[in-house]
Amino acid sequence: MIAELFLIGIGTGNPGHVTHQAISQLKAADIILIPRKGSEKSDLADLRHQICDELLGADTPPILEFDLPIRDPARPYLSAVDAWHEAIADIWQDTIKTAKTVIGTAPRTAALLVWGDPSLYDSSMRIARRLKPAPAITIIPGITAIQALTAAHKIPINDLGSPFMISTGRQLRANGFPKEADTLVIMLDGECSFQTLVAADFDIWWGAYLGMENELILSGYLPELADIIVQTRKTARQKHGWIMDTYLLRRRDV
């Protein structure tokens, strides 16, 4: 098994988001692991390859791809995620074992390109801790979708002196907009959960494919934009086969 695993944040798909630290760490790895998420999302693997080609060139270590398992939607959420993480850890280990046939020797280090940042709404660290024997883990931070969103809209994440929170669509649907904050950033929301709110109370800043050539951004009064965002998201997903989007909700002054 490897002695060290590098979890490297690569931003939201723009090679310009990848830091010098990340490039150096990628070059230092014996192998690079790239996940495949099915043919419909092949662009995600292709983008990782493109980042390596553009930024590492001839210094790119051998790349090994692996197929991600599918999370069981029939199981309770936390139980399903736990089993899913265990399955991913097993696949990482199996993929690393095959590296010897590719590079001629057992790898000592491996790098995993993580979308955004490994510390924010990403489970790479949790999965890495399931590897046996456990390797040392090095984290290279990356630009988050939240940073890319606020930069695209040219807004600060919070109002003066006001707190903000970061959550998921699942939490927004279950618990509504938190009373503790005026600004809420929602990630990992495939169901456009802003539709569950009393729309008249909020403004929204939405973005998809942030930092990329096909970036989409919309902002304004939620009642006027909700249906437009839903349709824009649906059309973009059909066109590209995948979509990653994030949005910021801000309570209106009443």
pLDDT tens for the chain, 254 residues: list them: 899 999 999 999 889 999 999 999 999 999 999 998 765 555 777 888 999 999 999 999 999 999 999 999 899 989 999 999 999 999 999 999 999 888 889 999 999 999 999 999 899 999 999 999 999 999 999 999 999 999 999 999 988 888 999 999 999 999 999 999 999 999 989 999 999 998 889 999 999 999 998 999 999 999 999 999 999 999 999 998 889 999 999 998 75
Could you give the CA distance from residue 88 to residue 79 in angstroms, rounded to a whole number?
14
Could you give the CA distance from residue 84 to residue 75 in angstroms, rounded to a whole number?
11
Q: Which amino acid is at 241?
A: G
Could you give the CA distance from residue 223 to residue 249 in angstroms, rounded to a whole number?
12
Q: What is the pLDDT of residue 13?
A: 83
- Residue 141: CB atoms within 10 A of its CB come to 17
Query: Which domains are delineated in the chain?
Result: 4-143 (3.40.1010.10), 146-251 (3.30.950.10)
Here the tokens at position 144 are: 């988050």
Q: What is the pLDDT of residue 37?
A: 72
Find how far residue 208's CA is from the centre of its chain: 12
Q: Is 95 helix (H, G, I), strand (E, B) or coil?
A: helix
| φ, ψ at 157 (rounded to 5°) | -75, -25
Token pair 């150096």 is found at 24
Q: How many helices (H) and strands (E) does the chain have?
A: 7, 10
Whether omega before 133 lies within 30 degrees of 0, making that bond cis, reads yes
* pTM (two decimals): 0.90
Could you give the CA distance from residue 109 to residue 107 in angstroms, rounded to a whole number?
6
CA angle 190/119/73 to nearest 5° reads: 35
Residue-wise DSSP of 130-166: TSSSPPEEEEE----HHHHHHHHHT--SS-TT--EEE
Could you give the CA distance from residue 156 to residue 13 in angstroms, rounded to a whole number?
22
Q: What is the pLDDT of residue 40?
A: 53
Q: What is the pLDDT of residue 63?
A: 94
Q: What is the pLDDT of residue 42?
A: 59
